[in-house]
Structure 1
Amino acid sequence: MESVLNALHYAGIIFLVIMVFNLMILVHEWGHFLAARWRGLKVDKFQIWFGAPIWKKTYNGVQYGLGWIPAGGFVALPQMAPMEAIEGGSGEREQLPPISPLDKIIVAFAGPLFSFMLACLFAIVVFNVGKPEQEGMVTTTIGWVAPDSNAAKGGLKPGDKILEIDGRPVKTFGGLVDSVRWNVVSSENNPIPFLVERPGEPKPLLIPVTAEIVEKEKGSFFSFLFKRKQLREVGIAGKQTPMVAGTQENSPAAEAGIQATDLITSVDGKELLSLYQLGDYIEKNPSKPLELGILRDKGKPTEKQLTVNVTPRQPDIRPDDDKGRQLIGVIWDQNGLRQISHPRPWTQIRDALKTMGATISAIVSRKSEINMGHLSGPIGIGRAYYTLLDDPYGLQRVLWFSVVLNVNLAVMNLLPFPVLDGGHITMALFEWIRRRPINIRILEVVQMACVFLLLGFMVFVSMKDAGDMVGSGGKGDKREPKQEYRFLPANQRQTAAPAPGQ
């Protein structure tokens, strides 16, 4: 029964992903459709997804259909630039009266306009229902510095509040363009200057930190085709109070009474800024009884501060390659404490526009390490929606992501590239200035060349998206299933058979 419920759960998420994705395409193409009707253009087809239709129906002279290539959509307008390669036309062109450049501009601009309007609608909904934000993402205070990392070597410390990176102010640790992560990966300097405010220091400190790419696997033909180039990092994480998702049965944490949603605020009187910090502390103080400060039921009438004593120990059953680690048996909530914010609609739109502008600038810059391979296509977008929906705050996260994605869709389509709406507008302006249409044969060659470029790009990013789903390595993981850490009841610990290899 449980497996059936899980299957229904995942099937429901996939269905919602398809619906949300198609809604954005539908609204964009609906803008073209309504504008074409308004300006008196002939409409041959209205189709979601590209390629030959797997379903179609003609109504009032318009063929409505669903294509077999799950990417994008189109409205076939024979009086606009020819696009038979995408729209599945026969190449036989009906003799129709020409339309003015203004009509072409209005019809082409209507798609991005409707995408932008949909983004605004989503932004209004987000403003009302709220957006969940992780504690570790909205702060600019460092919670953890990886040992031997470039950040540690440069002099960054937990508790430092980052004010600027590369001379640009930062507002959050993760997220859009004003974040610590974005400014590290997009910086064209190395080392990168960090301006930080440190407790006890009379004025901010300027600390240069070298960023580097940490390769997670050796290069291979599979990696070349499917893996994205790693982005630079310095080895820091934002401040995040460790939050308990649960405890392992019979573990020291369970025996001490630690519960799900407990916040571990301190260890032996020292404030905890990260769950990694607690792990480091246990590793450096093996078998030492710990005094943990716990905040229970935060934000509820029953909220209270507790002190719990717990002694780490080795799990009774552990993997072959275990090196004697001592644990307390806590299962951590990686998202940590989350709060609901209500960003104003214009703020959401502005941030999405800034993100799009910064991304394009980084891609075209010679000094930037961000390239076309870091973009995503339909597979990556669908996977992102799936991940967002499979979350307790799934609906709210999807609404916010839809604001960003629809703004991106509007901006990308306005780029002056033939096939895109911006290309149609550019050609119409050129026609307006010349006072005569562009030669149809030249137009066909340009359009076809750009169609193949666009399809090639879609294949390229889809391969990267597929590589993200498969994971590292192209041959699969043929290792034996990893053994888990387990704690046994007190009356079984002395007689328990050791795990293989112990």
Structure 2
Amino acid sequence: MSTAFSQIFDSAWSIFMVILFFGGSIFVHELGHFLAAKWRGLHIERFSIGFGPRLFGWKRNGIDYRVSLLPLGGYVALPQLADMRGIEGESSADMEKMEPISYSSKVIVAVAGAVFNVLFAFGLATLLFFTGQPTNERQNSVEIGYISKSLVNEDGVSVASPSSQAGLREGDVVRSIDGKPVENWTDIHQSIAISSGISDDGRRKIELEIEREGNAQQVTVYPIISQYLKTRQVGLGPGYTVIITKLAENSPAIDAGILPQDTLIEIDGEPVRSIEFFRNAIADKAGAPVSILLKRGEEMIETTVTPESVEIRKDGTRSTLIGISEYTTNADLAHVNPFEQIKQVTITTWETLGALFNSRSDINLSHMSGPAGIIRIFYNSAQYDILFVIWLTVLININLAIFNLLPIPVLDGGHILFATISKIKKEALPPNLVASIQGGFMLLLFSLMIYVTFFDVNRWISDSSDTREYVEQRITPVFGESGEDQSSDTSIDGDK
């Protein structure tokens, strides 16, 4: 009963977070247009969250405040700014009798939505500055902690990992990618994914500057497109401290005297750079003793443990383990200046947009998320980390600001474009022409949203299928005996 109540509460809380932060971001944008229009004396027909038929709302002082059927954005109907009757519905006002508004008023009203999004983002970023954002050594690392031996490419074929072929090593420190300095693993992941380098023989190419044993080196890596992410991947993972938090019962780790809160320092004389590195190090050591150096408090402890090959899935899949059920790494709260937060989010948004329009990049519309995908991320995140939801809202608002100012008809930037053309021509553009262009681009925009939503739903189905298959197949490894299959929530040796 308590579990069911908890699930209902979590769902209700997540829905509330979606409405508050995602819906709030749209509301803030439209509020900017609304207040600017009131300030500049424009006639306001409607203030709508969503498009299409009216679901509910109220009228006050001649303005229809409403929530509409399609939750794909929102609008403030301003007949003097642009003829949007084909999109927003018929206007009760006689547009021909309305006084034309100045160029400055058009620009101010059009820009106001983006300005309010930026102000909202800055306010939330300031809140994050004071509360701090959870961060950890894994996220902040620029050291290579493990190199995959193989990757599955877009054709479903397992191939040697580009990093291993390029001669990269665990312990190398990444300084820049394609000439751009990197400061953390997010930078590294983003730079690889959106890279657009092509070699003379037509292969995808990335130039890494690394530091190895104090010496700078240039390394060329030829990435593949991964089967799951569909982006450029090279088979790298970050380096970080591995702190054991839970051990499996009757496991070799317990027999060797390993305790929760011990830190893995070395295995057979090699520094343990990540849990993945540790797994690779014992992968072919079943039944063979390995030497492990631990840190317990301020004390260094050396012990010997013998890994076991145990069954981890109902289909008979086996893995070599010592019984590390759960682990963590060094964590902290980052108090990042709000200006720096806005700067980083803006750079990331522009770089992603640039990659989207770069024919040499492998980023395309299938990698984008529409309203459905964004709502899903908000919904899932709200159950675990409210601070991440706030950071995500900062990202969404900067995205909304930049996207809406693109000079595309229907968007705010399109209104500015039409106003500027009229200013240069010193005459208004034909209303029918403007309406036709606006309608055509709105149809295109909705088509793109449907296209992106298809991939959002496809990812949702794929993730759900993978999770279900994992839950159905996993079993608790039994050490020291064959044992019977059991279901369990326990991850083993960091295999999360």
The bucket for the TM-score relative to the shorter chain is 0.7 to 0.9
CA distance in 2, matches of 1:63, 1:114: 21
131, 134, 142: which one aligns with 1:132:
134
SS of 1:41's equivalent in the other structure is coil
* Residue matched to 2:415: 424
Alignment partners' CA distance in 2, 1:304 and 1:389: 40
CA displacement at 1:396 relative to structure 2: 2.0
Structure 2 gaps of 5+ residues are 150-159, 198-203, 487-496
SS at match of 1:277: helix
Give a deviation string over 1:291-347, Cα, whole Å, max 9, x none: 544456xxxxx77665565432244x65344354332222335x7433211111111
Structure whose residues are more often strand by fraction:
2
Query: In the alignment, does 2:21 pair up with 1:27?
Result: no
Deviation at 1:150, TM superposition (A): 1.3
- Does residue 462 (structure 1) correspond to residue 453 (structure 2)? The answer is yes
Report the Cα offset of residue 265 of structure 1: 3.1
Query: For 1:239 and 1:478, how far apart are their aligned partners in 2?
Result: 29
Q: How does 1:52-71 map to 2 (within 5 A)?
A: 52-71=53-72
Alignment of 1:346-495 (within 5 A): 346-391=339-384, 394-471=385-462, 481-487=472-478, 493=481
Question: Which AA in structure 2 matches 1:287?
Answer: G
What residue in structure 1 maps to residue 330 of structure 2?
337
Gaps of 5+ in 1: 217-228, 297-301
The one-letter amino acid of 2:206's match is I
Quote the offset at 1:284 in angstroms: 2.4
Matches within 5 A, 1:89-128: 89-90=89-90, 93-95=93-95, 96-128=98-130
User: Is the aligned partner of 1:196 residue 2:210?
Assistant: yes
Q: Conserved in 2, the CA contact under 8 Å of 1:56 and 1:65?
A: yes
Residue in structure 2 matched with residue 311 of structure 1 by the alignment: 306
- Root mean square deviation, CA, Å: 2.8
In the superposition, relative to structure 1, how do residues 323 and 23 fare at CA in structure 2: closer, same or farther (>3 Å)? closer
Cα separation, partners in 2 of 1:52 and 1:149, compared to 1, 3 Å: same
Is 1:182 the equivalent of 2:190?
yes
Separation in structure 2 between the aligned mates of residue 4 and residue 280 of structure 1, nearest angstrom: 42
TM-score w.r.t. length of structure 2 = 0.86
Identity of aligned residues (%): 31
Matched to 1:33, the amino acid is F
Q: Give, in angstroms, the shift of residue 409 of structure 1.
A: 0.9
* Corresponding pairs, count: 467
Q: Indicate the residue corresponding to 2:152 in structure 1.
A: none
Which amino acid is the alignment partner of residue 84 of structure 1?
R
Corresponding residue number in structure 1 for 2:490? none
Once the two structures are superposed, what CA deviation does each residue of 1:151-183 show, in whole Å capped at 9, x if it has no partner? 111110000011122222221121xxxx22222
**Distance 1:12-1:249 versus aligned 2 partners, 3 A rule:** farther
Once the two structures are TM-superposed, the CA of residue 44 in structure 1 deviates from its matched residue by 1.4
User: Taking structure 1 as the reference length, what is the TM-score of the superposition?
Assistant: 0.85
User: Counterparts of 1:436 and 1:244 in 2: how far apart (Å)?
Assistant: 72
What amino acid is the match of 1:146? S
SS in 2 for 1:401: helix
Q: CA 1:78 to 1:255, structure 2 compared with 1: closer, same or farther past 3 Å?
A: farther
Does the CA-based 8 Å contact 2:312-2:318 persist in structure 1? no
- Distance in 2, matches of 1:142 and 1:213, equals 20
Q: Deviations for 1:347-385, whole angstroms, at most 9, x for unmatched residues?
A: 111112211221121111121111222221111212222
Would the alpha carbon gap of residues 471 and 107 (structure 1) be closer, same or farther in structure 2, given more than 3 Å must change? same
Q: Is contact 1:292–1:310 with CA below 8 Å preserved after alignment? A: yes
Rounded to whole Å, the distance in 1 between the matches of 2:298 and 2:85 is 65
Task: Report how far residue 287 of structure 1 moved.
Answer: 2.1
Q: Contact conserved, 1:242 with 1:332, CA < 8 A, in 2?
A: no
Q: Structure 2 vs 1, CA of residues 462 and 258 (structure 1 numbering), >3 Å: closer, same or farther?
A: farther
Greater CA drift, 445-454 or 98-107: 98-107
Query: Are 2:475 and 2:485, in contact at CA under 8 Å, matched by a contact in 1?
Result: no
Structure-1 separation of matches of 2:471 and 2:169: 39
- What secondary structure sits across from 2:321 in the alignment? coil
Measure, in 2, the Cα distance between the counterparts of 1:37 and 1:279.
Answer: 63
Check conservation: 2:106, 2:416, Cα contact below 8 A: yes
Q: Which residue of 1 aligns with 2:176?
A: 164
